[in-house]
Amino acid sequence: MDAAGTPHSLTHLQARARTGFTQGQTASLSATLADAPWSFPMDSFMPALQVRQIDHVTFVVRDLERSRAFYVDLLGVQLVPRPAFSFPGLWFQAGSTQIHLILESPESGPGGAFVPENCSISRTRHIAFEVASAAEAVKILQQQQIEIVAGPKARPDGPTQLYVFDPDQNLVELFSYGP
């Protein structure tokens, strides 16, 4: 039993209630995860760790000022104090998550990201920000001559989404639940 008194071996009905998976999906997921090199016992649907939230994401960039202008002046995230690390960087606050930028160096590796030409933009690595209005975001991006590389389009769960690159080709999704 776990700390709440729930048996470790859950029934399929309990598993579906916790995960949203059907019995077949649960069995398929269990079989797939059992073959993973990092697999953990699937006799319980209680995770080994209890992640609370994403604290920060980090990008290595080529030019801190150019990136600051994108994130602060265009996207409107807040520049926040950064500890006195021995390497250059900037920290931003976006809701409860921070974005950490580190200037490229031999220790951090090169700035920038590579997105293959033949990939579907919405299915590759990206960070997503909720905005008040995707339609208004389109207008502002066009005024600033920032290329929209995908969208705007409706996401299957309702929001409208669009994608842009930051100055180092890190893909940024902007989405809103309203227009």
- The per-residue pLDDT for range 90-145, each reduced to its tens digit, is 999 999 999 999 999 999 999 988 888 888 888 999 999 999 999 999 999 999 99
Higher pLDDT, 8 or 114: 114
Cα(11)–Cα(60) distance, rounded to whole angstroms? Answer: 45
Query: In the predicted model, is pLDDT for residue 50 greater than 50?
Result: yes
Full set of structural domains in the chain with CATH: 1-51 (no CATH), 56-103 (3.10.180.10), 121-176 (3.10.180.10)
Q: What is the DSSP letter of 122?
A: G
Q: Which residues are CB-neighbours of 21 under 8 A, at least 6 positions away? A: 15, 29
